[in-house]
Amino acid sequence: MGRAKAFDVDDALNDAMDVFWSNGYKATSLGDLTGAMQISKSSLYETFGSKHDLFLSTIDYYIRTVTSQISGAVHINAPAMKIIRALFTRAVQRMTEPNSRRGCFLNNCAVEVSIRDSEAAERVAHGLEIMEEAFYSLVIRGQRDGTITATLNARTMARFLVSSLNGILVMGKAQTDTEKLYDVVDITLEALT
């Protein structure tokens, strides 16, 4: 029987994700990772494999812990439009909080590495698909209750919502004017009615 780990794997993944999220994949060194995770290089290799393997694990961790919050919103007992507005409002709030202007980890991964890294690209696409499915369910619900126009294709609108939400997270990295971000929220929601 192997020895028990002297650290919590999820805590270590969270710490590694924060480093990759702040620095990007290429600019992150093993020393940055082991320092943030408070583990040795041998523990990193034994538990997670290479730097690349760890990076892929952090994308999976982000999907499991952050992206899943969007899919969890589908189960809230509230009108679909109210939930969609809340998700968009939260994105704007995140981008205006101190030290939160890093955007979305999936977006950052898509921009930095997905073109050259098919494994990362697959994971990023999976995370975006989870978001799309959540929005699809919400659009269908809104069409059933009459708050979202039934003339729109629900799948297309779900993709539009994913794109708009991620666009806000990208804009927010450089844009400190919350009014401009809320303009995007308003026009996005208006497109649903």
Token output for 99: 């030290």
- Cβ contact 189:85 at 8 Å: yes
The CA distance from 96 to 133, in Å, is: 27
Q: How confident is the model at residue 96, as a pLDDT?
A: 84
Q: How confident is the model at residue 4, as a pLDDT?
A: 52
The residues near 75 (Cβ < 8 Å, ≥ 6 apart) are none
pTM: 0.89
Give the rounded percent of residues in the chain with a pLDDT score beyond 70: 97
Q: How confident is the model at residue 18, as a pLDDT?
A: 94
The CA distance from 156 to 140, in Å, is: 11
Mean pLDDT of 122-128: 96
Closest CA to 48 of 23, 78, 75, 17: 17
Residue 2, pLDDT > 80, answer no
CATH number of 58-190: 1.20.58.100, 3.40.50.720, 3.90.650.10, 1.10.357.10?
1.10.357.10
Residue 10, pLDDT > 60, answer yes
The CA distance from 70 to 58, in Å, is: 18
- For 57-94, letters b (16+ CB in 10 Å) and e give bbbebbbeeebeebbebbeeeebbbebbbebbeebbeb
What residue ranges do the domains of the chain occupy? 58-190
Q: How confident is the model at residue 174, as a pLDDT?
A: 84
pLDDT interval class at 129 (50, 70, 90) = very high
Q: Which of 3-7, 11-15, 105-109 has the lowest mean pLDDT?
A: 3-7
Q: Which of 21-25, 82-86, 96-100 has the lowest mean pLDDT?
A: 96-100
Q: Kindly report, residue by residue over 40-69, the tens digit of the pLDDT.
A: 999 999 999 999 999 999 999 999 999 988
